[in-house]
Chain A
Amino acid sequence: MATSEAAATPQGAPVARRLSLLRVLGPMHVWALGVGIVLVGEFMGWNFTVAKGGVFGALVACWFAGILYSCVAMIDSEVSSTVASAGGQYAQMKHIVGPLAAFVMGLFLIFEYCMLASADAIVIGAIMAELNANFQPLPWVILSLLFLTWLNYRGVHLSLTFNFVITAIAFVTIIILLFGGEFWNPGKIFQTSELFAVQPDGVDPKAPYGWLGFLAALQFGIWYYLGIEGTCQTAEECRSVPRALPIGTMSGLITLLIAATITWFVGTGLVDWVTLGESAFPLYDAALNTGRQWLVVILFIGTFLSCLASANGCINDASRAWFAMGRDQFVPRFFGGVHPRYRTPYRAILFLVPITLGFGYTGLLDQVITFSIISGLLMYAIMPINMIRFRRLYPMGSIPRGYVHPFHPAPSIVLLLFCIGTFIAIYFGYWKNLIAAMAFYILVSVWFIFRRYKVVDRSKLYTMPWPRPKGY
């Protein structure tokens, strides 16, 4: 076997001692990653809040989840602006809480994103079958995943520039639906007053199940924003982490708050609450109700592109988390490999393809999505601990920060309380899934403590040039 230096230069080119991920991303790419993963939630999924809590329940869930994710974005922006490492929350946990928390966080990230990518691919297959009944879903599911894998393999700049374009188009389609429905002219196309009115049988679409319905709606409210925290995964590939991450994440969150509110307004103003609560493609159905064929075509394109953007972002994020865990030997070191030409974590990207395809092949969309959501929520529940500990170990002025979030520790406490509320809502609807997920994560934690951590080279775990934490 050749030595590393000789091997790096097969044609006698200058010697490269270390391979690293390329630092080529700006705020635009960070925005594209965050919004790209999430925007699919506006095109499908959020509408189940209407079935649980009525139209006002859906709005409460939208804003409630908006507050939850504002806390997530603020916390992530501050901590990530100091941790220039792939893996995002995984790397944060490793430096601030400890190896076990980092390992579990890494798994949360991988399962959240792999399963979300699978769900997106399943939906792409379903959309193709909707387009023409003779299209088989399977080749299109695999093609979409392999195409996005190829993009991610070829370079992060390429894949996230592509994501920016398709995400921007998908976002614009929501705006077009708002204007195409002539929102300034209520009663012509939008039937908000009529659809919100108490029905002849006495059911009030605004809150058919009262406050309990509002609580139940919370479990689907996170669809409006699920995945925005994925922006942290680009930390090692940003040209300027302290600038790009906070700007990209915050602008992404603002975009999503606007998109979510418009989505709620358009959906509830064009489709009756019962149909909306059961719809697989709510915005597409809203476009159908406008009676304008060009809007239907535009929303079809928007739905398709949002799925593609989400799957692309998920492949990017899951591979960075797996790569970071490989680099620290929490999983085999082999997965910490970087492509010498494209500078991408190519082994992690390729390894996750069959896993994502496997989840997609099951076709169990609801189960796949529920596990993804539970993994995400578990991650959010740990983040407040991470933030409070971060401020204790590294008080203001002790470590360079690209962003400082206001009112600490209020966002951490609010996030924790909102997570507890959402867990209660999920327990009512999916208690078996919640317990199964918890049991799985506890088992792998035991495996990590008693088996895997023994082979980890702890001297190489912390290479970040950080000062010694307060009290150590």
Chain B
Amino acid sequence: MDTAAEVLNWVAWAAVALLALYLILDAARVESTYDNDLLVSSVEGEIEKEILIHAETISAIEKEIAEETPSVDTGADKSKEVE
């Protein structure tokens, strides 16, 4: 039996135990410290407009819409405020 290999097998098991312990303890700390509503509060991201193809077109359309549409409170706007 190769003793060095045996020892390394045990070292691997020890490293497994340490990593598992770290992950479990850190997750437990986060769960107990922070509110769940905050932890699950992420939403889908946004795209930076300035470096996109057709960015000028989009900006022009948006500007046009803004000029044409009177400022009214929509349901969507309200829900954003509540958020």
A residues adjacent to B (C-beta < 8 A): 1-8, 10, 16-21, 23, 81-82, 84-85, 91, 132-136, 139-140, 142-143, 146-147, 149-150, 153, 235-236, 240-243, 326-327, 333-334, 336-341, 346-347, 350, 396-397, 399-404, 459, 463-465, 467
Contact = CB atoms under 8 A, between A and B. Distances in A.
20 contacts: A5-B38, A6-B35, A16-B38, A84-B45, A136-B9, A139-B9, A140-B12, A143-B12, A143-B16, A146-B23, A149-B19, A149-B23, A240-B51, A326-B40, A327-B44, A334-B36, A397-B57, A400-B53, A400-B58, A402-B52
A340 B34 contact: yes
- Which 6 residue pairs of A and B lie closest in terms of their CB atoms, listed nearest first? A134-B5, A7-B35, A84-B45, A139-B12, A400-B52, A4-B38
Interface of B: 1-2, 5-6, 8-9, 12-13, 15-16, 19-20, 22-23, 26-27, 30, 33-49, 51-55, 57-58, 61, 79
Among A1, A23, A150, the one with the most B-chain Cβ atoms within 10 Å of its Cβ is: A150
A338 B2 contact: no
A199 B1 CA distance: 45
Nearest to A91: B44
Interface of A is mostly: loop
B45 A146 contact: no
B52 to A, nearest CB: 4
A115 to B, nearest CB: 21
B34 A18 contact: no
Contacts of B12: 139-140, 143
Contacts of A150: 19, 22-23
Given A7-B33, A142-B16, A346-B27, A19 B48 contact: no
B38 A146 contact: no
B22 to A, nearest CB: 7
Contacts of A338: 39-42
A146 B47 contact: no
A402 B54 CA distance: 9
A2 B33 CA distance: 9
Given A243-B51, A397-B57, 12 more contacts: A18-B41, A19-B39, A134-B1, A134-B9, A150-B23, A153-B26, A242-B48, A242-B53, A337-B40, A401-B53, A402-B53, A459-B79
Given A146-B16, A243-B51, A350-B27, A4 B41 contact: yes
Nearest to B33: A10
Nearest to A242: B52
Given A7-B33, A139-B13, A147-B19, A463 B42 contact: no
A337 B45 CA distance: 15
Contacts of A2: 35
Nearest to A323: B42
A85 B63 CA distance: 26
A400 to B, nearest CB: 4
Nearest to B10: A139
B5 A18 contact: no
B37 A400 contact: no
Contacts of A400: 47, 49, 52-55, 58
B53 A20 contact: no
B23 to A, nearest CB: 6
A124 to B, nearest CB: 11
Among A1, A23, A146, A340, the one with the most B-chain Cβ atoms within 10 Å of its Cβ is: A146
A465 B46 contact: yes
B30 A134 contact: no
Among A16, A19, A350, A465, the one with the most B-chain Cβ atoms within 10 Å of its Cβ is: A19
A6 B45 CA distance: 25
Contacts of A19: 38-39, 41-42
Contact of A235 (B9, B45, B51, B61): B45
Contact of B39 (A81, A139, A143, A340): A340
B1 A327 contact: no
A82 B47 contact: yes
A134 B3 CA distance: 9
B44 A464 contact: yes
B43 to A, nearest CB: 5
A136 B27 CA distance: 30
